[in-house]
A = this chain, B = another copy of it.
Amino acid sequence: MKTPLDAFIAEDLSGYIEFMPEVEAEAEIIVKEDGVIAGVSEATSIFEYFNVEVEPLFEDGDLIRRGDLILRAMGDGRGILKAERLSLNFLGRMSGIATLTFAFVERAGSVRIAGTRKTTPGFRAFEKRAIILGGGDPHRFNLADMLMIKENHIALVGLEQAIKLAKGVSFTKKVEVEVSNVEDATLAAELGADIIMFDNMTPGQIEVAVKSLQARGLRDRVLLEASGGITLENVNEYAQSGIDIISVGAITHHAVWLDFSLRIV
């Protein structure tokens, strides 16, 4: 995964650190909460950018516990200070997402947990990677990744026309359709949609829709996804409604940071 590191570093220009004398130092990053770690490879790149040697003690995706020593950094103290805040920001944000994703994954059994495009502008690539590290499916990286027909698109050109346009774009792309009732789900499957997303439907409504598709012999042609209003409390119920994937905006927009700190030793 390519990191636009220069731009991130430019955001946090160092000040008087430039004028400090060179001092050899060693630092440790410690975590203060349990969770799933993400951002170790990014933090490593940041320290190395400032010519600081790094010894990571966990790999991205590992389970970590309060108090664990995550990473050791050795080199010019000025480099360590320059890398400190940015590397902690990557670890804090990415591990927060990985940890929350993992909590959903544990409750969903064999059904796949996926992200959404509800990500911080400019930081999506890293938030998607954190989802993968937490055991989730990144879903679309951008609008070009898959052809997704949402309620607003259908409002503009109609369901049939939207699917026809989407399928004409390229044989290489899957076409997903967002529906909110059994009729549209059936129509989408008949028109050749690859994936059907049940939007803001209850587990009970979804179960009915799945059975209706089965009855018409359409279930095996499509992947089925639930989305909208899914929480840690109700995700297990959704997981038992007969679908393949659950997408959850909360794993990015309601994730809070995992707490890390750096200390000079």
Which of A15, A117, A257 gathers most chain B CB within 10 Å?
Answer: A15
The stretch from A59-67, A118-126, A178-186, A205-213 touching chain B is: A118-126
- Which residues of chain B are within 8 angstroms of A15 by Cβ–Cβ distance? 142-148, 169, 173
- Which residues of chain B are within 8 angstroms of A16 by Cβ–Cβ distance? 147, 165-166, 169, 173
Residue contact A152 to B8, C-beta cutoff 8 Å: no
Q: Please report the C-alpha to C-alpha distance between residue A1 and residue B144 in the assembled complex, in whole angstroms.
A: 12
Asked, given contacts A112-B171, A141-B144, A145-B172, whether A121 binds B165 with beta carbons under 8 Å apart, the answer is no
The A70-126 residues at the B interface (CB cut-off 8 A) are: 77, 80-82, 84-86, 88-90, 92-93, 96, 112, 114, 117-126
Residue contact B122 to A12, C-beta cutoff 8 Å: no
Q: Does A217 contact B (CB under 8 A)?
A: no
Query: How many chain copies?
Result: 6
Residue contact B264 to A253, C-beta cutoff 8 Å: no
Residue contact A144 to B14, C-beta cutoff 8 Å: yes
Least CB distance from A81 to B in Å reads: 6
Residue contact B11 to A142, C-beta cutoff 8 Å: yes
Q: Does A139 contact B (CB under 8 A)?
A: yes
Q: Does A57 contact B (CB under 8 A)?
A: no
Residue contact B156 to A23, C-beta cutoff 8 Å: yes
Residue contact A138 to B23, C-beta cutoff 8 Å: no
Residue contact B121 to A89, C-beta cutoff 8 Å: yes
Residue contact A171 to B245, C-beta cutoff 8 Å: yes
Residue contact A256 to B257, C-beta cutoff 8 Å: no
Which of A18, A27, A144 gathers most chain B CB within 10 Å?
Answer: A144
- Which residues of chain B are within 8 angstroms of A96 by Cβ–Cβ distance? 253
Q: Please report the C-alpha to C-alpha distance between residue A244 and residue B170 in the assembled complex, in whole angstroms.
A: 12
Residue contact A118 to B89, C-beta cutoff 8 Å: yes
Residue contact A171 to B244, C-beta cutoff 8 Å: yes
Residue contact A92 to B253, C-beta cutoff 8 Å: yes
- Give 16 pairs: A residue, B residue, CB < 8 Å, sorted on A: A7-B122, A12-B117, A14-B143, A15-B145, A16-B165, A20-B156, A20-B165, A82-B143, A120-B123, A137-B170, A137-B171, A145-B145, A151-B264, A156-B264, A171-B195, A172-B195
**What are the 6 A-B residue pairs with the smallest beta carbon separation, nearest first?**
A122-B122, A253-B257, A15-B144, A155-B264, A77-B156, A146-B172
